[in-house]
Every structure is written in structure tokens, then in C-alpha cells.
Amino acid sequence: MKRFVLACAASVALTGCAHRPPEGEHYDVLIRNGTVYDGTGAAGVQTDVGIRGDRVTAVRELSKARADRVIDATGLAVAPGFINTLSWATVSLIEDGRALSDVKQGVTLEVMGEGWSMGPLNPAMKEELQKEQSDIRYDIAWTTLGEYLEHLEKRGVSVNVASFVGAATVRMHELGHANRAPTAAELARMQALVRQAMEEGALGVGSSLIYAPAFYAKTDELKALVGAAAAYGGGYISHIRNEGDQFMEALDELLEIARATGAHAEVYHLKAAGRDNWHKMGEAIRKIEQARAAGLAVSADMYPYPAGATGLDACMDPAVKEGGTDAWVERLRNP
């Protein structure tokens, strides 16, 4: 469905042009003489790109073709739109759908849902979300994840959008900020929420396990949610439970979830945090490569800079945040 269009598989569009229109045929746009990188990892090739409407229809030498608009890309790279695989434009797109800060860097797809998603919401979650708004103020005119994405589309956004459903979001929907395991009935309702999100176009389940209340979920709970998504072909992304002293154990948890559910799993912003843990990075990469060689669909991504940034809550024992932000602040007032 239109509301969940994924970047139009641009690498396929650029490489799969079996039909070659005759020379002299007309295009809406011609990009000439650029070095084309098709997204497959192949070396760049200096060639032309012909576009009709919103489709790339030819990638080859088109010196005799005509076009309404010709772009001379000599000395420049031509590539499919980039994917922001960990987007937090969930609120900023409501304020300004142009997404200029990413579009001007070539990003055409925003993938949301690292642990927390903009649906499903219950009345208490809507009230909390309203209360925590800061410089960007907005009405919460949706309840489900699909309705949120439709809301963006109706307002108008320049980028394509997609989202995972947050494991913490479905947990909060049923348990609030409680630090306990769900009952069988609660877990069944959480799985039903995941299934609904998948039917509305979600890409799978996302977790961000260093934060509360996501941290309160045990491995079996995550397996149940990811298994519900896997039945629809959904995957699992995770900011794993620990990136420091228990880095390897946290990675093992992700691999265990992937094995148990059959879902593709991705480690979000893979890192070994703290100088004493830096040596573990080589072992982590070997472990991922061994799992892949054994047939497990697992991958990882990184950000290419040597520092991280997150909230104060990530630096504190997750138990401190049980009950939500107000309870957390009250505990911090107690000497």
C-alpha cells in the first residue's frame, strides 16, 4: 500500500532495465555523464540515466535521447536514494514534512521504530506523549501504527516512510511502566498488537533494551513478539541489552531470538562501549559472521563516528525508572 512504500527498491530499478528504448526516444529527465552506483556494491560506471514520470526506465548510454530536462552530472556520483535505517524523524516530520535535513543528504527513506513506535497507543500513552511534547506541539490524531503513517502521508512528506513496531510500545500498551513479566493473557494481547501492526505494514519488531521499560522484557517475551511478526515475514531489530561489560551476552540473546523465531535479526549501531570492552568488537564480528555462515539471517549496522549520545536514563539502573518519568524524578529527589 502507498503509505508503506519502501524506497522503490531503487537498486533493482537501476539494474533491471531489460527494455532498452530506441535511440532518440523522449524522457522527462536525463542525467548524463555521471558515475552511476546502483546500490549492489558494484563499481561505479560512467553512463546516463533516463527517467519517465517517477520511474528510472533506462541506465545506459543515451547520447541521442531527448528530454524535457537534462542534468549534466559530469564528475558527480548518481545513486539510488539513501536509507536512514534508524530514523527518529517521527515527530519532526509532523512539524515539517519536507525533511530537508535528510533530503539534502540524499536520504529518501526513513525507517523508524527502534524500540518505540508511534503506535499502537492507548489513552494513557496518548496522555503521556502529549505531556512530554517540547518545542514541537502536535495533536495525536491516530491510535495504531498504520494510522500514524497514514497521518504523515495525508499531511504530506517528501520522503518514503516505514516503521517497525516497538517492543516497548506494545509492552507499555498492556503493562505500562511495570517491571514484571506479562501474564499469559497480557502476552497474548501484545502478540495480537504486533500482528495488527504487521497487517498494517510494519517491517517487524524493534527493541531498544538499554532503556526502561524495554529493559524489563525477558528473552522469552521478546521471542513471543518477534515470532508473531516472523509469521508475516517480519524481522527483528535491536539496540541490544548491553554494549559494555555484558556485550557478548547481549549479542548472544539477539542470536538466540533469531534462531528461535526464524526472523532476520539486525544489531542496531553495533559497538563495544568503554575502553575496557573495545577488544570485544573483533569477537562480536566473528560471532555474527559465524552465525551467517551457519545459515542464520543476522546482520548489523554502525554509525561511523567515535562517540555516542543518549539520554540520562540510559546511564542509570533501569529499575530507577519503574513507574514512568514522574516516579523516576521522585526517586531522584530522595537523597
Task: Please state, in angstroms and rounded to a whole number, the distance separating the CA atoms of residues 50 and 46.
Answer: 14
Instruction: Specify the length of the chain in residues.
Output: 335
CATH tag for 82-332 (out of 3.40.50.2300, 3.40.50.720, 3.40.190.10, 3.20.20.140): 3.20.20.140
C-alpha cell at 151: 497521518
Are the CB atoms for 232 and 264 separated by under 8 Å?
no
Q: Flag residues of the chain having pLDDT under 70.
A: 1-24
Same topology, domains 2-78 and 82-332? Answer is no
Q: How far is CA 212 from the centre of its chain?
A: 20
Measured from the Cβ of residue 231, the count of other Cβ atoms closer than 10 Å reads 14
C-alpha cell at 234: 517480519
59 SS3 class:
strand
**pLDDT confidence of residue 315:** 84
Burial of 262 (0-12, 13-18, 19+ CB in 10 A): middle
**pLDDT confidence of residue 22:** 53
245 SS3 class:
coil
Strands annotated E in the chain: 26-36, 45-52, 55-60, 66-72, 77-78, 82-84, 107-112, 160-163, 165-166, 204-208, 235-239, 265-267, 298-300
Backbone φ and ψ for 117, nearest 5 degrees, come out as -125, 170
β-bridge pairing 55-60 and 45-52: antiparallel
What's the pLDDT tens digit per position in 209-261? 999 999 999 999 999 999 999 999 999 999 999 999 999 999 999 999 999 99
Backbone φ and ψ for 221, nearest 5 degrees, come out as -65, -45
β-bridge pairing 160-163 and 66-72: unpaired
In this structure, the dihedral spanned by the alpha carbons of residues 251, 254, 256 and 262, taken in order and rounded to 10 degrees, is -140
237 SS3 class:
strand
CATH 1.10.10.10 fits 2-78, yes or no: no
Q: Which residue has the cell 518545542?
A: 135
**pLDDT confidence of residue 319:** 86
Q: Measure the N-to-C terminal CA separation of the chain; round to a whole number of Å.
A: 54
C-alpha cell at 1: 500500500
For the chain, the structural domain boundaries read 2-78, 82-332
Compute the Cα dihedral for 241, 186, 236, 136 and give only its sign: negative
**pLDDT confidence of residue 13:** 38
Q: How far is CA 3 from the centre of its chain?
A: 16
**pLDDT confidence of residue 12:** 35
Does an H or E element contain 302, and which? none
